[in-house]
Each structure stands twice: as structure tokens, then as C-alpha cells.
Amino acid sequence: MRALITGGAGFIGSHLLERLVSQDVEVTILDNLSSGSKKNIHPSLNKGNAHFMRGDCTQTSDVEEALKDVDTVFHLSANPEVRLELNDPKTCFQQNIYATHILLEAMRRSQIHTIIFTSTSTVYGDAKITPTPETYPTRPISLYGASKLASEALITSYAYTYNWNTLILRLANTVGPRSTHGVLSDFINQLKKDPTTLEILGDGTQTKSYLHIHDCIDALLTALQQTKDQVSILNIGSEDQVNVQDIAKTVVEEMGLQNVTFHFTGGVDGGRGWKGDVKNMLLDVSQIKTLGWRCRYNSADAVRRTIRALLE
């Protein structure tokens, strides 16, 4: 395999890079470093079979250059922010949907026939069935979820039109070393500034599945090796949940703090942290399990291990 990772200097991308490099895969990393960092990939670059290119997926010339001598594309580049105030509609469209369009058009003009796309559990919106299977209707309630679903549709249409092999992974909340956004880093950063008070968005009952990055990469590579369909869509997540208030308690415990006051904002739309926040999420992962994958860490373990890694 000769692979391209778009967004390869980011959280998930840099962990995927490490695994591929350890397997002697030649890897090109395309990243504009807007949310990724070269320090994430510096150890891999020293191995000799990883090559970094600073560029943007919205620029055709950058994408075409990155695709040279590549046969497999891992498309991870995206604006990772779910909250509307951190991810306005124009930015969400440009960095998620338009960037995917540019990549697919460049692939169409090349000889590449394999693409792996990291999508999200938020494409399901407020699912009435949990655990939620891949066959459940996709009705995203956030712009982020909608942009990922639109990218899924573009990718599958190109796959069927041009006979590509495509793998789409709908990820639960993925956490681990190097994660720089989300509830864990937010709580840690708050308590470093003020160890007496923690603001918690919503009513604290938001309950979700958390996936450790090592389990995420294991699932991605297992699915890539084992799936046989031209287009495969798979849920990836742990098989349990943890709520935001319990996460806050774990952060406080791991930081060795006492007498911390929790301030709940109350949130919107029945206690959500923000507009478009999915309050309850748990994925049905029976399909990926049939391929031989098993989650090593449950949600609580993944959260605690990540907190410790971020504090280090």
C-alpha cells in the first residue's frame, strides 16, 4: 500500500500514520495545520517512509500533488468542531463538503480506486433506537453531521460511478492522546485556570459512547482488510456509555482536586450542551465485530486513559 492521509497531522490522522509507518507503508500526509500539528507526526517522519506536504484539500493543485504515487486514500481532513459557534456554515461547507468534492475529482483523474472516509455518529441525529444500527435513517441535527453525511453521499456516488472500493466509518466520540478539542480537554483547561469551579454545558445528563483512539485505529485497519463489498458503511464505537457529569467527576479525581463546584448551564432543547448536540448516543457495532474486531476499552476506561494522557 502507498497511502495518502488527508488531515494526517491531526488527532486521528497522526495515530493512523504511526500504525501504517510501523507496517512499512509509504505514507504521504496532506495537512494545512489549521487544527493538526507537526509535533504529532515528527516521530513518524523520522522513520523514512512518511512524507509531509503542507497543503489544503480545498486547493486542487495541492490535492493533485499529494495523490502522486498513491493507491489508497484515507480521507480524515475536516473541521472537527461540532458546536455551531465554533464551526459556522460556510466553514463547515468549505472544509468538509467542498474539500471532499475536490479530492474526489482529483481521484477521478488519477488511477486511485480505494478511499476510506471517517464519518461520524452524528449523521443519525436523535436516534430513537439505541444501540443504533447502520440501517437506521440518517437525520442529522447539526451542520457538522449534515456535512459528514453529504460527504458520505458524494463518496458513495463516485464509488459506484467509477468502480472504486470505499469504506465509510461512522465513529463514536473518539478520545486519546493528542486530542485537542471536546469535553475532556475543555474540562482540563478550565480547571487549570480555576481549580474551584467547572462550567458544564447542558444539564449534565448527556450520555454518549467514547472510543479510545487505539481501538479506533484497530477497527479502521480491520475493516480495510476484511470488508469485501464495493461500498461498506460501518459503525465504530464502544458498547457502553458515560454521561457528562461522570466525566467531570473523573477529571476532578485525576487532577487531584477537591471541593470543585459544578455549574450546569442548563443548555438548550431539553438540556443539550448546544444547538445540535445529540444528547444520547450509542452505536450498534455488531457488523464490525463480525469482522473480528473487539473494543479493548469501554467508555469509562477510554475517558480515564485520555485524561491521564492529556495531563501528562
User: What phi and psi, each to the nearest 5 degrees, are found at residue 291?
Assistant: -90, 0
pLDDT tens-digit map of 13-39: 999 999 999 999 999 999 999 989 999
Q: Is 308 exposed, middle or buried (0-12, 13-18, 19+ CB in 10 A)?
A: exposed
Same domain, yes or no: 95 and 196: no
The DSSP annotation for 241-269 comes to -EEHHHHHHHHHHHTT--SPEEEE---BT
pLDDT recorded at residue 80? 81
Separation of alpha carbons 310 and 176, rounded Å:
8
Same domain, yes or no: 150 and 275: no
Q: Is the pTM of this model over 0.85?
A: yes
The answer to whether residue 84 scores a pLDDT higher than 80 is no
Amino acid (one-letter) located at 305: R
Mean pLDDT in residue range 79-92: 80
Least confident of 41-50, 77-86, 116-125: 77-86
Same domain, yes or no: 189 and 75: no
We report the CATH number of the domain holding residue 59 as 3.40.50.720
Same domain, yes or no: 166 and 255: no
- Note whether 231 and 160 are within 8 A (CB): yes
* Domain, as residue range, for 43: 2-174+210-236
Same domain, yes or no: 224 and 77: yes
Same domain, yes or no: 94 and 230: yes
pLDDT recorded at residue 118? 98
In Å, what is the CA distance from 224 to each residue of 75, 110, 148, 187, 245? 13, 21, 20, 35, 36
Q: Would 289 be classed as within a structural domain?
A: no
Pairing of strands 207-208, 242-243: antiparallel
We report the CATH number of the domain holding residue 301 as 3.90.25.10
Mean pLDDT in residue range 282-307: 98
Residue 309, by phi and psi: left (phi above 0), alpha (psi -120 to 50) or beta? alpha
Separation of alpha carbons 257 and 254, rounded Å:
8
pLDDT recorded at residue 85? 64
Same domain, yes or no: 79 and 218: yes
Same domain, yes or no: 140 and 193: no
- Note whether 200 and 262 are within 8 A (CB): yes
Q: Would 288 be classed as within a structural domain?
A: no
Query: What value does the mean pLDDT of the chain take?
Result: 96
pLDDT confidence band for 150 (50 / 70 / 90) = very high
The answer to whether residue 286 scores a pLDDT higher than 70 is yes
pLDDT tens-digit map of 233-259: 999 999 999 999 999 999 999 999 999
pLDDT recorded at residue 181? 86
CA–CA–CA angle 2, 51, 41 (5° rounding): 110
pLDDT tens-digit map of 173-201: 999 999 988 999 999 999 999 999 999 99
pLDDT recorded at residue 295? 96
**Total domain count for the chain?**
2
Q: What percent of the chain has pLDDT over 90?
A: 93
The answer to whether residue 87 scores a pLDDT higher than 90 is no
pLDDT recorded at residue 163? 96
Which residues are within 8 A (CB) of 312 and not within 5 positions of it... i.e. 6 or more apart?
none
Same domain, yes or no: 102 and 11: yes
The answer to whether residue 311 scores a pLDDT higher than 90 is yes
CA–CA–CA angle 117, 305, 143 (5° rounding): 35
Mean pLDDT in residue range 89-101: 94
